[in-house]
Amino acid sequence: MTFETHSTLLSEALTARGYTDLTPVQSAVLEPEALGRDLVVSAQTGSGKTVAFGLAMAPQLIDESGRPLPASSPKVLVIAPTRELALQVSRELSWLYEATGVRVATCVGGMNPSLERRALAQGAQIVVGTPGRLRDHLERGALELRSLAVAVLDEADEMLDMGFREDLEELLDATPDGRRTLLFSATMPRPIVALAQRYQQNALRISTANEDRGHGDIQYQAIALAPSDIERAVVNILRLHDAETAILFCATRDNVRHLHASLTERGFAVVALSGEHSQNERNQALQALRDRRARVCVATDVAARGIDLPGLSLVVHVEIPRDAETLQHRSGRTGRAGKKGTALMLVPYPRRRRVEGMLRSARIAAEWISAPGAAEIRAADSERLLSALLTPAAVEVDEVDQALIARLMAERSPEEIAAALVQAHRARLPEPEELLTSDPASPPPPRVPREGFEGSTWFRLNVGRNQNADPRWILPLLCRRGHITRGEIGAIRIAAHETLFEVPGAVAARFIDAVRRTAEEEDDGVEITPSDGSPREEGRRNKRQHTGSGSPHQPKPYRAKPEHGGSGGDRPARKPFHRKGGRPTKGA
């Protein structure tokens, strides 16, 4: 197929690569009104934007016959936020311009800088790199930008989020005034707009992002569940989807470490990416995913930026993203190049309202579903096994296998052989987990009968209705913090700003001792303290204490921690109380 590009060599490269049509963003940059102009392109990750800016910069790089234009220094500079993305961009531009003789040099952290300087000295027409390494080469005199014709900022919003503003400004300030600046960004926050206004002239704005959803090829789903069920829900989701490659997002490196260990123990082929991993460890993890030696990646937001994994069909937000832009960045790892993907959010009951607001602001219509249960997973396992065994296929059997088959048929019935096959198939799969509840609309767990609670002891939680206190997450929290069972928790009384609950007198001392020990490990803002009596007794005592004093006693309001990015002002927080994935949330 012939494409309307600057050179027939580029069209032939696209055809040889299997292209039958250009994506919307690729077509948009080739429109007559875009030729030769600065561009601000808003396109989702995976929309083909690397090829798009590769085609857009062609007139400043090669002539119509495909020969490189003369230059004593690089003609194109492409800046990407991460090493992985820079290497990916370099590979894409290499095959696109291979027939033209254009040379591509890559400058990224973790590589030998001496080899990079040698490649620059040999006359690369395109230089691709990360901000820090490019700035280092510029300051050392190895990178010369006096002849630069095009500067490309790929994933510009991520580079600003990662703190590369100063590096970007120094690089762009070193380029000629007449150069084109192509700015590609999945989102357009104010810092991106300010950057465009400073370094671009009469820029054309191109937006191919779907206005109704964050990404047209991604199916968004959400599951509301008890905080203590999150890890078990992750296991069941991985088992149900059986994705070729899946990525699980956590908020901190501690949580990445914990979830990675937990999934490894359960038998999943899983790797981890976070700030504590070296570049060599990152490379090994990504290569394991590409080689299919691993199928699951647990990562933090920053560590996963720029990752492009083939076959990635499932993204799980194990911990809620901090805002709508982070949600779209995370989810954009799947649903790439026309392939379908699923982005699934695990939402603790108290944080559902906040997540619904985030989805509305991102214009994402997510489907709220139930967490998969063990029965549903085993049914899916059976269907996959039947599909694999009953799909017509030519099976070659050598003499050794034929002898083994004959012996099996002689010593066992077909039913026994089939049963052994099914058991062997199930034995290699991690066992599904039982959840407290799989239906977000189901009523709270019933209260335990009062039998056996004579002489019980009452305790107080510093959260109540105003913090969305709910037995569905209070019960698991008490069991975890106090090392008791659900059967050892009696009546629960939820007030506006506090919650009272009872435990049998025989276990009260053990309970409060465990609470004090686990308080050092839990950083969730929830305090558990002994009460002076039952709710009725406290009510009578408070009434006596405040008779004639005006207003009745009001417990001190619980001030929820400000959300990420909030001001945390004087007004009492009314947002749902939350815990991030049931784990401490210490530094990322």
Task: Please give the mean pLDDT across all residues of the chain.
Answer: 82
Residue 442 burial (CB < 10 Å; 0-12/13-18/19+)?
exposed
Q: To 5 degrees, how large is the angle CA 360–CA 364–CA 369?
A: 100
Q: Any alpha helices (H) in 8-104, and if so which ranges?
A: 8-16, 24-28, 49-56, 83-96
Residue 463 pLDDT > 50? yes
Please give the pLDDT value at position 37.
93
Q: To 5 degrees, how large is the angle CA 412–CA 418–CA 421?
A: 110
Please give the pLDDT value at position 205.
92
Highest mean pLDDT among 164-178, 411-425, 525-539: 164-178
Q: Give the strand order in the sheet containing 499-503.
A: 492-494, 499-503, 457-461, 528-530
Cα dihedral 220, 225, 230, 235, rounded to 10, equals -70
In this predicted model, what pLDDT tens digit does every residue of 325-384 receive, in sequence order?
A: 788 888 888 877 667 889 999 998 888 888 999 998 888 889 999 999 888 998 898 888
Comparing CA positions, the residue from 382, 381, 435 lying closest to residue 223 is 435
The tokens for 92 are 């894409």
Contacts of 442 (CB under 8 A, 6+ apart): none
Q: Identify the residue whose tokens are 């008890």.
A: 226
Please, are residues 301 and 284 in contact by the beta-carbon 8 Å criterion? Answer: no
Question: 8-207: which CATH number, 3.40.50.620, 3.40.50.300, 3.40.47.10, 3.30.830.10?
Answer: 3.40.50.300
Residue 555 pLDDT > 80? no
Residue 561 burial (CB < 10 Å; 0-12/13-18/19+)?
middle
d(C-alpha 192, C-alpha 169), whole Å:
12
Contacts of 397 (CB under 8 A, 6+ apart): 405
Q: Tell me how long the chain is.
A: 588
The tokens for 128 are 């691709």
Q: To 5 degrees, how large is the angle CA 401–CA 293–CA 262?
A: 115
3-state secondary structure of 358: helix
d(C-alpha 194, C-alpha 242), whole Å:
44
d(C-alpha 536, C-alpha 531), whole Å:
12
* Banded model confidence at residue 539, pLDDT cuts 50, 70, 90: low
Residue 33 pLDDT > 90? yes
Helix-helix angle 352-361:324-331, to 10 degrees? 80
Please, are residues 319 and 326 in contact by the beta-carbon 8 Å criterion? Answer: no
Q: Name the residue with higher pLDDT: 429 or 148.
A: 148
* Banded model confidence at residue 2, pLDDT cuts 50, 70, 90: low
Q: Name the residue with higher pLDDT: 279 or 554.
A: 279
The tokens for 210 are 């779907």
d(C-alpha 432, C-alpha 328), whole Å:
29
The arrangement of secondary structure in 443-561+572-588, i.e. its CATH architecture, is 2-Layer Sandwich (3.30)
So where are the chain's domains?
8-207, 218-375, 443-561+572-588
Cα dist from 114 to 83, 86, 167, 194, whole Å = 17, 18, 21, 35
Please give the pLDDT value at position 541.
58
Please give the pLDDT value at position 56.
93
Percentage above 70 pLDDT, the chain: 83
In this predicted model, what pLDDT tens digit does every residue of 56-74 receive, in sequence order?
A: 999 999 998 889 888 888 9
In this predicted model, what pLDDT tens digit does every residue of 396-452 receive, in sequence order?
A: 778 888 888 888 888 888 888 888 888 887 777 888 888 765 444 444 444 444 455
Backbone Cα Rg of the chain: 29
Q: Note the Cα 377 to chain centre separation in Å.
A: 23
Ramachandran bin of 206, using left for φ above 0, alpha for ψ from -120 to 50, beta for the remaining angles:
beta
Residue 542 pLDDT > 80? no
Q: For residue 368, what is the enclosing H or E element? A: strand 367-369
Comparing CA positions, the residue from 346, 244, 354 lying closest to residue 292 is 244
Residue 217 pLDDT > 90? no
Please, are residues 505 and 456 in contact by the beta-carbon 8 Å criterion? Answer: yes
Q: Name the residue with higher pLDDT: 224 or 466.
A: 224
Q: Name the residue with higher pLDDT: 572 or 41.
A: 41
Residue 255, CA atoms < 13 Å, CB-side half-sphere = 25
Long-range contacts of 398-407 (CB under 8 A, 24+ apart): none
In this predicted model, what pLDDT tens digit does every residue of 492-524 receive, in sequence order?
A: 888 888 999 988 888 888 899 888 888 877 666
Contacts of 162 (CB under 8 A, 6+ apart): 81, 302, 305
Ramachandran bin of 57, using left for φ above 0, alpha for ψ from -120 to 50, beta for the remaining angles:
alpha
Contacts of 208 (CB under 8 A, 6+ apart): 23, 24, 25, 28, 41, 42, 43, 44, 47
Give the lowest-confidence range in 6-10, 83-87, 143-147, 423-427: 423-427
**Paired residues of 361 in beta bridges:** none
d(C-alpha 315, C-alpha 45), whole Å:
14
Percentage above 90 pLDDT, the chain: 33
**Under CATH, what is the fold of the domain 218-375?**
Rossmann fold (3.40.50)
**Paired residues of 493 in beta bridges:** 500
d(C-alpha 169, C-alpha 199), whole Å:
9
Q: Any alpha helices (H) in 49-200, and if so which ranges?
A: 49-56, 83-96, 113-121, 131-139, 156-161, 165-173, 190-199
Fold agreement between 218-375 and 443-561+572-588? no
Please, are residues 444 and 471 in contact by the beta-carbon 8 Å criterion? Answer: yes
